[in-house]
Each structure stands twice: as structure tokens, then as C-alpha cells.
Amino acid sequence: MKIAVSAQGSDLTSAVDPRFGRAAHFIIYDTDNKTFDLIDNAENIAAAQGAGIQAAQQIAQHAVDVVVSGNMGPKAFQALQAAGVQMVSWCDGTVAEAVELVEKGELKPITEANTRGHWR
């Protein structure tokens, strides 16, 4: 399983970023190999619009199964849903903690956007 987590930093000890589209980075953790890749999201941080959709497209290109982030706007939610990616709203700790909670099944997928668009 591949788990993408919006991250404020560049490794597993980083705090989960509460923003999805404008997160600093995404860490994609592969639970089979116990490895991770870092995706820099700098181009979307200052985007006037479309940050959530562009971030969702990046995630979908990496064949991610689950995304963990604090907030998902309506356009990002729709794009991820269309790509078959489950979304979880959680930002109370580190990327490593988020991965562990997903693996244990302790975080439940959201069924709708949990913030309005253009949230910063």
C-alpha cells in the first residue's frame, strides 16, 4: 500500500501539514518496502488557484492508495475521489505516526471535503 502524507518537512519525523494543496511536501510511504519518496510541492504553495487539483494529480500519478492531510477542499476531494484514492483527515502528529495509524486501520476515510476551497 502507498500512503501519501502532506508534510511540513522532508522526512518521517516531520509534522503533518494541515493543508493539502498548499502543503510544503508530500511524503509517499510504501508499506510493502518500508521506503518513502519525497515530493516537493513548492510550485503549488503560491498558486493563485488550482493548487488542490494539481496536488491531487501529482498524488494520483504515484499510484497512491490513501492520502492523509488535515484539510481537503472540494476540488482536491473530487480529483482524488475520481482517481480512486481514499482520503483521511488527520494532522495531530508526525508523518510516521500518520502512516502507523493508517496501517492499523485507526483512521477512517472522509466522505466529503472538510474545508471550503482556497483555504490557506
- Give 4-21 pLDDT, tens digit per residue: 999 999 999 999 999 999
pLDDT tens digits, residue range 47-96? Answer: 656 678 889 999 999 999 999 999 999 999 999 999 999 999 999 999 99
- As assigned by CATH, the class of the 2-104 domain is alpha beta
Residue 119 has pLDDT above 60, yes or no: no
49 φ, ψ (degrees, to nearest 5): -160, 165
Q: What is the pTM of this model?
A: 0.92
